[in-house]
Each structure stands twice: as structure tokens, then as C-alpha cells.
Amino acid sequence: MPFDGIATKCIISELQEKLIGGKIQNIYMPEKDEILFSIHTYGKNNLLVVSVNPSCSRIHLTKRKKVNPITPPNFCMFLRKHIGSGKIVDIKFHDYERIIDFIIEARNELGDLQIKRMIIELTGRNTNIIITNHQNIVLDALKHIDEEISSKRQIMPAREYSLPPSQNKILMTDFTIEHLEKFKSRLLEQALLATIKGFSPAICQEIVFTANLENKSYEQLTPLQKQSLSDSFKKIKEKVISEQYTPCLIYNNNQVKDFYPLVLTKYKKTTPMESFNETLDQYYYLKDTRERINQKQGDIRRILSKNIERCHKKIIIHEKNINNQTSLDKFKLFGELITANLYQFDKNKDKINVLNYYTNEQISIPIEKGRDASFNAQRYFKKYKKAKSAALYSNKQLVLSVRELSYLESVLHNLSTCQTPDEVDEIKEELMTTEYIKRKKSRLKKKKKAIRPPLKYISSEGYEIYVGRNNIENDYLTFTFANSRDLWLHAQKIPGSHVIIRKKDKKEEFFPDNTITEAAIIAAYHSKARNSGQIAVDYSEIKNIKRPNNAPPGFVNYFTYFSAYATSDEGTINLLKG
């Protein structure tokens, strides 16, 4: 969601409370378009992040530090020189524009106090950070804009700073419903967006949604509907003017989708936050984490997809060889019939007609012209032997290919459920161990990572339930962590996690049915069939679970088991989290 005028007003209100009077202790630039300011205020250090990345321009306090380059960029050195150790005198905001003005009192090279302005423009692709002196002359900017880039407004050193061109919109304090007459043929949310300064599509859609006037234009409204739209707008206006903010994160499919300083009722799932700073910090942290996960997953997913495709091709070839029994028998029959009919063999012909003594029918056998009967019979016997060997080989390889395919699909499933970059790294390490990814040679000895504890749940009856995140963890959970009388669960014939129910007491004979049901729900949730409704989940004691020789990680055999039917339920999962 873009940083609109309402979001800017909300964040300014919080920053004024926390940062005015604060001293800028240090300035960092971990990214080419992101700056961190360490500000000491009221005996506390605050970390202010300013991003001018057009896709996620923002300003807010953060608790998360980033790795800084060894050599600071030039603009970072410039900021340290001009506003480093400066005092924040004021933070200004005007007319719901996405422009934030920091008034900073700092000493120059001679030790004299001077007023500098740090102007942060969060205006989409033109987002910028500009430093001016007390005479409003630009000292420098992160992005220089000359005549070639813009003929209307230049941002260059030694030139006077000017605000971006006006959009000719109305302030919300001056707006009335009659102003929409200018855009009467447009949809209401589009008309509101084109009319009111500082409004984003999201808040315009919210006003229309709460008025129950979706897919309508102003010219279609009745007087009663116009009043409803006016009332909906006034509610938003009163909250903004009185600063009755309710910052929240907006979710879609269990993932954070957006944020806003007001609760938007058109979204079903939102999470309230204590402050807008915390909202933005959490949102962009989760977004950055998801992007890093997706970036790391990309290469691994391509490797897995390539190998899965290879396995499918191999299975098709091996099944074809195994099912080619007709050709196999035909070669043997032709060799036998040629041997049995040597007396009528004519090597000057390219075929021989003989009686098939199995069916009592005449058949024609192709032969190699100019070669005797013995050669042609042996040729067919060799074809038979070769085809038979291929079928026997394919039988063995088919088992291995099916096992490999099952393993790769389980890794792909585990990859899709990763929640942190570390979990993706663990899967990459697993694929290096199984030699699907080449390990880079290094002279340095790699420290062996400590195995993380598995995911833990607590059943309603107090039993500990553990879940593996990937195949390495599944192996550890089943064959190292669990005891022989613990209960093992897994989605039937579907890639998924190993699930263990720990016994409370060694003397205990049986697990409660309700605990088994809850563990089955967990197994269904941590499987590829998470969204497939009711599925079968097998369960058995650990002592019945065996690992085949030379099997890939996470692959097991079991023959003594029971099955339960369960449906993945996120509500139950959240209740059982340990």
C-alpha cells in the first residue's frame, strides 16, 4: 500500500512525540536507497529508517539493524558532515502531502550553529532525500534531478528548493460531496481519488464500501445515497483530524498483505498494532523476509523441478520397458521357429513363412537376406536377451526412480512451507548432502550447525507433539529424538512432515484418542494436502518405523500401522502451539 497523506500524518504525529529534541548520534547507509539515523532522545536511542526505494518508500522507527558497508557511500558521509550530531528542532508536515521536513540545528566546520533542513519526499518514483541550508538552497540530494530528467523542477546543489507541482486537489477539511460533480461519470472511488489531496485508492475504496455504493458513479446516486457517502467520508475525516488512529496489519491467505493507520472494514482479517511505527516496522520486516525467502527458494525450486521432470521421464521409460512383454516373447518365438524350420530356410529371401506350433497358425518372420538360419535365429535370441535384461534393469530402476521422485516432492513441499531464510538454507544444505547441489570448495573448515529443536505443539491433554521442518529434521526426529514407544504419524502416501507424540510415562499403554486426532490434524496441516479437505493419516509406534538401506533422508518403511482421517484446521493448530 502506498504511503498516502493520512499515513504520513499519522507517522509524523508519532515521530514528533519521540524525536523532537533528539540528537543525531550516527548515520548509516546499509543500502543505496536506505538510510538509518541513530537518534538519542529522552535517555533512549531510537533508530529511524528512511527508504527512498520507489517500491517501498517509507519512514519509521525500527528495532532491526542491518549490516553496513565497510566504506560509507558519499551521500552518507555528506549527511554525517552536515547534520551529524545535530539536534532535531522540529518535524513539519503540510497539506497532507507526502513531504516530511526535519528542521535540524547543527554546527558547521567553524563550530557555529546553523539551521539545516532534511526534506524527505515520499512521492513514488520521485522519492528523494534533500538537504538545504537556512536560505532554502539545496546543499545536496540523494537523487539529482536536472533539466534532462525534468523541465519543471530540478533538484541540484546550489539551486533553490521548491515543492513539487500542485495536484490541484482539495483538502479533506474543505471537501464536500458536491465536489464530485466534476468527475460524476467516474466510479466513486476514482472520483474521490481525483478530488481529495492525500487520499490513496485504499481509503477511497473504504469510504465507498462502508456506504455500500460499490460500482456506482456520482451521477447514479440518489439523494439518500449521497448522504450515505457523505456520512462515510465524515467518519474517516473525524478520525484523521482528531488523530484517532487504529494502526493495523492486513492479512490475506495467512500472509501480511498491507498496512494502514485506520482499520479498513472491507478486509476480513486484520491485526491491531500498538503504534504505526511498529506496524510499518513489522510489515516491512515480514515483506523483506518473504522476498529473501522467495529469492533463495528460486534457484532451489528450479533444481528440484528439473530433477522431478527427469524422474518422471525415467519412470515413463522404465514402465515402457517393463510393459514391453509382447515384443520380448515375440523375439524368443521367432528364434525358436527359425531353429525348428531349418530345412525350409532360404537365405536368398528376406522372410520365412512357418507354422507357429503354439497357435497352429502360419506367420511370416523377417530375416536378414544373405545370412543363414543360425545367424538369424541367434539375432532374435540376442534381441530377446537384451530386452529381458532391459526389463529386469528397469524393474530395479523403477523402484529407485519412484523413491527418488517421492523424496524430491517432499523436499519441494518442505521448501514451499519455509517461514525463514534459515529454513531455506537448511534445505539447501540437505540437497548438498544428497549431491543435488554442488558444494563449493573452501579451505576453511565449516562449523557444524547445531540441530534446531523441532516444532512443538501441546495437545489439549498435555502431550508434547513434535514436527520436523524438512527431511533432515524428519530423520533426526524419528530415529534420534523419539523413543521406541512414542507414536509416529504421517500423511498417507503424501509428502509431509514426520510427527511424533511423546509419551508422558513409559508405563503408559495407549495414547488418548483426542490427542491422536489432534496430532493427525497437525500431520495433515504439515503435508502437501493442507488445503485438500479430509485425508488419511497413518500412525504407528516408533519401533515399527524402519529406514531402508541407502534411502534418501526422510524416507521410511512401515507395515504395522493404523489410519485416522483428519482435516487441516489452522484454528486448532494455533491453539496447540507450544
The domain that holds 10 is classified in CATH as 2.30.310.10
Residue 578's pLDDT band, with cuts at 50, 70 and 90, is low
Residue 468's pLDDT band, with cuts at 50, 70 and 90, is very high
Q: Which residues of 358-376 are buried (b: 16+ CB within 10 A; e: fewer)?
A: eeeeeeebebeeeeebeeb
- Which stretches of 164-275 are DSSP H helices? 188-195, 201-210, 223-241
Determine the residue type at 26: N
- In a shared domain, residues 463 and 429: no
- In a shared domain, residues 194 and 322: no
Task: Round to whole Å and give the CA distance between 9 and 200.
Answer: 13
Determine the distance from the C-alpha atom of residue 293 to the mean position of all C-alpha atoms in its chain, rounded to a whole number: 6
Asked if 394 contacts 317 with a C-beta cutoff of 8 angstroms, the reply is: yes
Is 264 part of a structural domain of the chain?
Answer: yes
Provide CB contacts within 8 A for 493, sequence distance 6+.
none
Is 325 part of a structural domain of the chain?
Answer: yes
Task: Round to whole Å and give the CA distance between 300 and 434.
Answer: 13
DSSP annotation of 409 reads H
Is 159 part of a structural domain of the chain?
Answer: no
134: helix, coil or strand? coil
User: What dihedral angle (degrees, nearest 10) is formed by the CA atoms of 528, 531, 535, 538?
Assistant: 40
* Residue range 14-18: mean pLDDT, rounded: 95
Asked if 196 contacts 170 with a C-beta cutoff of 8 angstroms, the reply is: yes
Q: Please report how many Cα atoms fall inside a 13 Å half-sphere around the Cα of residue 523, on the Cβ side.
A: 31
The yes-or-no verdict on residue 104 having pLDDT over 80 is yes
Q: What is the pLDDT of residue 240?
A: 93
The yes-or-no verdict on residue 444 having pLDDT over 60 is no
- In a shared domain, residues 316 and 260: no
Task: Round to whole Å and give the CA distance between 228 and 575.
Answer: 41
The yes-or-no verdict on residue 272 having pLDDT over 80 is yes
- Which stretches of 456-511 are DSSP H helices? 471-476
Is 165 part of a structural domain of the chain?
Answer: no
Q: What is the pLDDT of residue 100?
A: 95
**Residue 250 burial (C-beta neighbours within 10 Å; 0-12, 13-18, 19+):** buried
- Please, what is the angle between helix 201-210 and helix 223-241, to 10°? 130
**Residue 123 burial (C-beta neighbours within 10 Å; 0-12, 13-18, 19+):** middle
Is 291 part of a structural domain of the chain?
Answer: no
Q: Out of 121, 141, 161, pick the residue that ends a domain.
A: 141
Residue 481's pLDDT band, with cuts at 50, 70 and 90, is very high
- In a shared domain, residues 88 and 119: yes
Residue 238's pLDDT band, with cuts at 50, 70 and 90, is very high
- In a shared domain, residues 462 and 564: yes
- Which stretches of 439-543 are DSSP H helices? 471-476, 513-525
Is 372 part of a structural domain of the chain?
Answer: yes
Instruction: Report pLDDT digits (tens) over 301-354.
Output: 999 999 999 999 999 999 888 887 667 788 888 888 888 888 788 888 888 888
- In a shared domain, residues 46 and 89: yes
Q: What is the pLDDT of residue 447?
A: 59
Is 281 part of a structural domain of the chain?
Answer: no
Residue 549 CB neighbours (<10 A): 5
Q: What is the pLDDT of residue 17?
A: 93
Nearest to 76 by CA among 32, 111, 132, 137: 32
Residue 118's pLDDT band, with cuts at 50, 70 and 90, is very high
The yes-or-no verdict on residue 11 having pLDDT over 60 is yes
Q: What is the pLDDT of residue 305?
A: 94
The yes-or-no verdict on residue 53 having pLDDT over 70 is yes
Q: What is the pLDDT of residue 244?
A: 94
Nearest to 53 by CA among 68, 33, 27: 33
Q: Give the chain's domain count.
A: 4
Residue 422's pLDDT band, with cuts at 50, 70 and 90, is confident
User: What dihedral angle (degrees, nearest 10) is formed by the CA atoms of 519, 523, 529, 534?
Assistant: -20
Task: Round to whole Å and give the CA distance between 244 and 238.
Answer: 8
Asked if 116 contacts 133 with a C-beta cutoff of 8 angstroms, the reply is: yes
The yes-or-no verdict on residue 22 having pLDDT over 80 is yes
- In a shared domain, residues 466 and 400: no
* Residue range 196-214: mean pLDDT, rounded: 93
Q: What is the pLDDT of residue 449?
A: 63
- In a shared domain, residues 460 and 389: no
- In a shared domain, residues 568 and 528: yes
Q: What is the pLDDT of residue 446?
A: 59
Residue 212's pLDDT band, with cuts at 50, 70 and 90, is very high
Q: What is the pLDDT of residue 442?
A: 63
Q: Out of 120, 141, 162, pick the residue that ends a domain.
A: 141
Whole-number Cα distances in Å, 187 to 47, 169, 184, 227, 564 = 42, 17, 8, 17, 53
207: helix, coil or strand? helix
Q: Out of 229, 254, 272, pick the residue that ends a domain.
A: 272
Question: Which pairs with CB-CB distance under 8 Å and at least 24 residues apart come from 502-505?
Answer: 502/463, 502/464, 502/465, 502/466, 503/463, 504/462, 504/463
SS3 of 502-516: CCCCCCCCCCCHHHH
Residue 370's pLDDT band, with cuts at 50, 70 and 90, is confident
Beta strands in 236-373 (DSSP E): 248-252, 255-260, 270-272, 351-356, 361-366
* Phi, psi (rounded to 5 degrees) for 183: -120, 40
C-alpha cell recorded at residue 546:
524402519
- In a shared domain, residues 414 and 518: no
Torsion 150-151-154-156 (CA) sign:
positive
Task: Round to whole Å and give the CA distance between 459 and 513.
Answer: 11
Task: Compute the mean pLDDT over every residue in the chain, rounded to the nearest whole number.
Answer: 90
The yes-or-no verdict on residue 254 having pLDDT over 80 is no
Q: What is the pLDDT of residue 2?
A: 63
Task: Round to whole Å and give the CA distance between 387 and 335.
Answer: 14
- In a shared domain, residues 518 and 565: yes
Q: Whole domain around residue 347: which residue ranges?
A: 303-440
The yes-or-no verdict on residue 82 having pLDDT over 90 is yes
Task: Round to whole Å and give the CA distance between 332 and 324.
Answer: 13
Q: What is the pLDDT of residue 253?
A: 76
Q: What is the pLDDT of residue 445?
A: 58
* Phi, psi (rounded to 5 degrees) for 317: -65, -45
With a pLDDT cut of 90, the percent of the chain lying above it is: 58
Q: Which residues does residue 256 pair with via DSSP β-bridges, in sequence order?
A: 251
Nearest to 516 by CA among 534, 539, 496: 539
Is 152 part of a structural domain of the chain?
Answer: no
* Residue range 524-549: mean pLDDT, rounded: 92
Determine the residue type at 467: V
- In a shared domain, residues 383 and 461: no
* Phi, psi (rounded to 5 degrees) for 571: -60, -45
Torsion 273-277-280-281 (CA) sign:
negative
